Amino acid sequence: MIPDGKPGRAPPTRRPRTRPGPRACPEHQRSARLNGVSEIPEGPLVRTARLAGLPLSAAGRLTLGWGQRLIGRDRDEVVAEMQRRTAEQLFEVLGTLKGGAMKFGQALSVYEAAIPDEFAAPYRAALTKLQNAAPPMPSTTVHRIMAAQLGTGWRSHFTSFDDEATAAASIGQVHRGVWRDGRAVAVKIQYPGAAGALRADMDQLSRMAPLLGPLIPGVEVRPLVAELRERVMEELDYALEADHQRAFAAAFAGDPDFLVPRIVASAPKVLVSEWVDGTGLAAIIDHGSQQQRDRAATLLTELHFSAPQRVQLLHADPHPGNYQLTADGKLAVVDFGSVARLPDGTPPIIGRVSRHAIGGDAAAVLAELRSAGFITDRFEPDPEVLLNYVAPFTEPLRHETFHFNRTWMQHQAAKMADLSTAESKLARHLNLPPSFLMIHRVTFGSLGVLCQLDATAPFRGIVERWLPGFREP
């Protein structure tokens, strides 16, 4: 255990300490036999089969649906039943497998606002459940891990410890306790076998990307999976996550708008931090007031654009389960396992392209994108088509305030998914440099959450303050 007695500092540039080998680790292979309950369920072959079964089962239901149509069942009734069953299976497989499967489901969940309303209801329910829910580990396993990580006398560090998990997610679950100094704490405990499961799942999801694409129109699943594969293994290193959280906590200490809980203690597979009381964004999305929605959207926008300048890090896991709105109106931010390291802040080209786009300067947009490697020297796009292509991304910047909602997101997704347009044909020739991939994913994920909130935020003013290159030189 590493008690936290040091000030916040920027995390060093290094690779994660925890690396899976070419095969699933023995602990992963044994996990199904521990205590009669699987923490990261089943062996690699069974996990692969269950993941592969998702599109196969969907195809089977489609065939069955046509058969039911032939015998006279109502079309809408058949379609609704197929969607319900597919959504239920999606949640059951991705949620109970945890690991990379659930991580992928969480990544998809922020895009649910893009799904057309006539198809969305069952998928929306299934995907949003993945934001902060999974079957928990039994208490015997929890105690065994705590003893291994904090020592056999681990209970002496706490005045109380709740054996029942308050949240269970993709690679770990959270328990509430009271530290020996009286502070309420959140104790995050990593599932046994997480490394092997993550590696196996991401391999399988990479192969399944073309089949999973139709779940979210307008989203390229293959690069999403590839980027997640590169970053998700870092989340296994709780010591690295503790460094990230210390850096954020130091940068936002005393901030009137943000709350980042401080690290209390850390170990390779256990992380203890200050407890946060607040209303989760999932609850605000479901039944929050308009004031709560607008406040959450404003602060989420500011976090996204300000953190690279304040901390040189970007919080890279934007789903509602990682944010809470406190009683005094602060945005509490948790889970720093996935971050983008931006030692020079956000690349100024993003701000310059945005400024040129809303100004209608097509030639400048083309020149900037070509200079950064988004457009190869061999490709000569129509500047006006290129301007139309980037217009949806910059539309919120054309107004002092902007109302983010599902209708707007669905419209943008439909345009991106329409393969007949000149903009779609141009998109097939564009290149996304690797250094921008994570920024791109996180930005779209954050926009998805804003649309789920159905909120109005002063988007342009926040961008003007924090995004390098956006203001006129």
Q: Domains in the chain, start-ordered, CATH in brackets?
A: 2-17+135-193+235-274 (3.30.200.20), 26-132+194-231 (no CATH), 278-473 (no CATH)
Does 336 or 45 have the greater pLDDT score?
336
Task: List the structure tokens of 272.
Answer: 């203890």
Structure tokens at 2: 């590493």
> Exposure of 56 by Cβ count < 10 A (0-12 exposed, 13-18 middle, 19+ buried)?
exposed
pTM over the 0.85 mark = no
Give the model's pLDDT for residue 117: 55
Q: Is the pLDDT of residue 266 over 90?
A: yes
Query: Which long-range contacts (C-beta less than 8 Å, at least 24 apart) are formed by 459-464?
Result: 459/301, 459/396, 459/397, 459/399, 459/401, 459/402, 460/396, 460/397, 460/398, 460/399, 460/400, 460/401, 460/402, 461/400, 462/298, 462/301, 462/302, 462/305, 462/306, 463/305, 463/351, 463/354, 463/397
Above 50 in pLDDT, residue 264? yes
Of 37-46, 150-159, 316-325, 351-360, where does mean pLDDT reach its minimum? 37-46
The predicted model gives 175-187 an average pLDDT of 97
Range from 116-120, 222-226, 244-248 that averages highest in pLDDT: 244-248
Measuring CA to CA, which residue among 302, 303, 309, 373 is closest to residue 344?
Answer: 309
Q: Measuring CA to CA, which residue among 105, 100, 97, 164 is closest to residue 132?
A: 105
pLDDT given at position 71: 40
Q: What is the pLDDT of residues 73-121, one digit of tens each?
A: 455 555 555 555 655 555 455 544 454 455 555 555 555 555 555 555 5
Helix (H) or strand (E) holding 176: strand 172-179
The type of residue at 197 is A
pLDDT of residue 70: 39
- Predicted local confidence at residue 60, as pLDDT: 44
pLDDT, tens only, 339-371: 999 999 999 999 999 999 999 999 999 999 999
Residue 59 buriedness (CB in 10 A; 0-12 / 13-18 / 19+): exposed
